[in-house]
Structure formats: structure tokens, C-alpha cells
Structure 1
Amino acid sequence: MDYLIAVLGGYLLGSIPFGLVLTRMAGLGDIRQVGSGNIGATNVLRTGRKDVALATLVLDAAKAAAALVLARHFFSADAGMLAGAAALLGHCFPIWLKFKGGKGVATFFGTLLVGSWPVGVLAGALWLATAFTFRYSSLGALVASAAAPLLAVVFQASPIGIGATLFMSVLVWIRHRENLSRLIKGEEPKIGKK
């Protein structure tokens, strides 16, 4: 029952579409009609408002962190990881938006940094190194998410923690399938490219 409450609570927190809410509050219209139509920080940045994009990034990470901290406080560390993973699921498939959400990178890192900070820091370093070496943000996300379950094993996470991290990694890859296809074809836009 504890795990069920943690998962449901995490999913509902993760479903809060901060990108959509913040862009509307800023008078930028419906973010789903801009660029890729995604509700995440990368697409919010396409509006030209870096402040709104940064706020989206922080809040998308914070909602997963909050879900994890609350479940860990009231139940257990494993329940916390399940809540964080459920928050990622909620972000990617929010009930409020007919299950059409973001790609989950910020929410993924929010869970990792609070759930196991060494895993989060190393995965974040991999993302940065890959993204800035090859100039593809999506490639950085794919590399970091692929490495995260292995890092969870190295840092001796519990079986549930490893399973939750693996679930999140697979979900990030699923949400980036179009990016992966463009990377393979050499059509993915590079960081900074107009």
C-alpha cells in the first residue's frame, strides 16, 4: 500500500505541466503550438524567454525531487525512488494533457540527484560532456540515461532503486526515439543551431 500511494502521488505531481502553465502566465500562449509542441524546457526556450525556460527546467526537476522526498519521508527510500520514477512517467504522459507530455530529462535528473546524488552528478557530467563534445543535447540525454542504471549498480542502490532507474532510463529512450532516428540519419539539429 505504501508503494501504491507513493506511485500515485508521484505520478500526479509529475503530471503538473509547468512548461504549459508558465508560458501561459508569461503571455506566450500555448507551448504545444510552438516548435516541437513539447511541454519541456527545451521547447519553452524556443519562445525566446530564457527565464521561463529556466523556471520550467527547475520546476520539472523539483516536482520529481518533491515526490521522492515526500515518499521517502513518510514511507521508505525505495518508496521514494518509485515516487520519483512515477513522477517521470507523469511528466511524459500527464493525465491533464491527454497523456501528451515532455521527454523527461529534467524530471529524470531531479529524481537521480535527490535519490542518489553520486549517480545524479555523474550522469549529469556525462550529459554535459557528451552534449558539449558532440553538440547534441539529445545524445547527451541518451548517454546519461543509459549509464544511470549501471551507476546505480556501482553505487550499490537497492534492487528497487536499480529497477526504478532502469525504468526511467528506458522511458527517456522511448521519449527520444525521434531524436535517435534523426541522430542516425544525421538530421538532428546541433546545440546553438538556428
Structure 2
Amino acid sequence: MGLFLIKILLVIIIGYLLGSLNTSIVVGKIYGTDIRKHGSGNAGMTNTLRTLGKTAAVLVIIGDIIKGVLSYIIGNLIITSIPDDSIKLYISGMGGMVGGIAAIAGHNWPIYFGFKGGKGILTSFSVVMMMDWKLGLILLGLFVIIVAITRYVSLGSILACVAFPIAAAIKGNGLVFIIFAAILSILAIARHNGNIKRLLNGTESKIGEKKKV
């Protein structure tokens, strides 16, 4: 058990440090811009698209997805190296989920950038796809439909996050999976506090239009 806890801590540290490599901030620096000082001020793909354009946004998408995938894979590799088969059976997939959640936390509160990061949606999506790709595609479909109807990226992200643990329970995923799905969703939704207020006030920007004042 002591070895297990040490490895869990190692997974958290690695996942967090990888997640802290906030791609939008790094890409912004390449463009000579601090993305957090422009547009909505959020260090994420949507604000990068509005501020720096499509090429920069694509780079952010790739980077945010890669760090989520790597954190998940590394987490599973570290945890499943425990020699006790009964423990491995009990914690199947837990290493990846722990690493993924840590990466999302790192993206949201990056140690390299003053703990001021993004909202973690792309990284969250990559972790969801690693956890259960079929469920991930369902949530992606829900996101696309909501955005297509309302043109609110934030609303699509929030509702997809709300649906994640619910869909996991309906689909019959295990209790550990559902708990991690709920934690992931709470992390993402909490970062959308400002968006929720603007949606309720009718001041949230729609995709394709400039940020409302």
C-alpha cells in the first residue's frame, strides 16, 4: 500500500507538471502575445482563435490534447507496474484517471505561469477519450449539437461536462470511473463561472462574433 501511495503521488506530480505546460500561453509567447491580456483573458483555444487566428488555435488544440493523452498513459504505466495482481485488478485504469485529472488541474492552474491558466476543456476531452472513447464521442456529439444550435461554445462545454458522469452511470461504467468523471466535470464547470454569469445575463459572446463588453 505504501508503494501504491508513492506511485499515485508520482502520477499526480507528473500529470500536473505536464498539464502546466499551457499551450495557449506558450503559443501566445511565440506570437509575442500574452493571451491572458487579450480578448476574454482566458488562456484557452477559443480566446486564442479570436485573438491570434486559426493556425495558433490548431496548435493549441494539438498541444492540449497531447498533454492529456500523455498524462493518462504515463499514469497507467506507473500504477499498473505494481506487482500485486489483486491490486491491479481493483485499480484498473485509475492511474490514467489520476494522471488525467492532475493534467487538467495543471492546465487550469499552471505552476509555470503564476497559476493563471485556461478552463481545461480540450485536455478534459482528451482524458475522457482515453477513459472511454465511445462515451467521449457521445459527449462530443452533444457539444457540437448545442454549439450548432446556440453558437455558444461555453454552453456546449458546460452541458457536455454535466452530462459526463450522468452518461457514465447510464452506460454502466464502474463506481471509480463515475467518481472521476464527476471530479473532472466539477473542475471544468467551476472554471466556467464567469461564462455561466454571462449566459444568464445575455452578454456571453457567440462563436464568430467579438467578445461583448
**Is TM more than 0.5 here?**
yes
Correspondence 1:133 to 2:149? yes
The equivalent residue for 2:29 is 24
Distance 1:157 1:73, change over 3 A: farther
Q: Could you tell me which runs of 5 or more consecutive residues in structure 1 were left unpaired when the two chains were aligned.
A: none
Q: Could you tell me which runs of 5 or more consecutive residues in structure 2 were left unpaired when the two chains were aligned.
A: 81-92
Correspondence 1:106 to 2:111? no
Q: Is the 1:22–1:52 contact (alpha carbons within 8 Å) kept by the matching residues of 2?
A: yes
- Map residues 81-120 of structure 1 onto 2, 5 A cutoff: 81-120=97-136
- Map residues 1-194 of structure 1 onto 2, 5 A cutoff: 1=5, 2-25=7-30, 27-76=31-80, 77-194=93-210
Q: Deviations over 1:11-62 (max 9, x none)?
A: 111111111111222x332212211222111111122421111110121121
Q: 1:17 is matched by which residue type in structure 2?
A: N
Q: 2:111 is matched by which residue type in structure 1?
A: I
Please give the TM-score of this superposition, normalised by the length of structure 2.
0.86
Q: Is the 1:130–1:139 contact (alpha carbons within 8 Å) kept by the matching residues of 2?
A: yes
The equivalent residue for 2:85 is none
Taking the aligned partners of 2:8 and 2:167, their CA distance within structure 1 comes to 24
The percentage of aligned residue pairs carrying the same residue is: 35
Q: Deviations over 1:99-156 (max 9, x none)?
A: 1110111011010011110121111111111111111100000110000111222333
Q: Is the 1:58–1:106 contact (alpha carbons within 8 Å) kept by the matching residues of 2?
A: no
Q: Is the 2:77–2:95 contact (alpha carbons within 8 Å) kept by the matching residues of 1?
A: no
SS at match of 1:47: helix
Please give the TM-score of this superposition, normalised by the length of structure 1.
0.94
CA RMSD of aligned residues (A): 1.4
Q: Is the 1:94–1:101 contact (alpha carbons within 8 Å) kept by the matching residues of 2?
A: yes
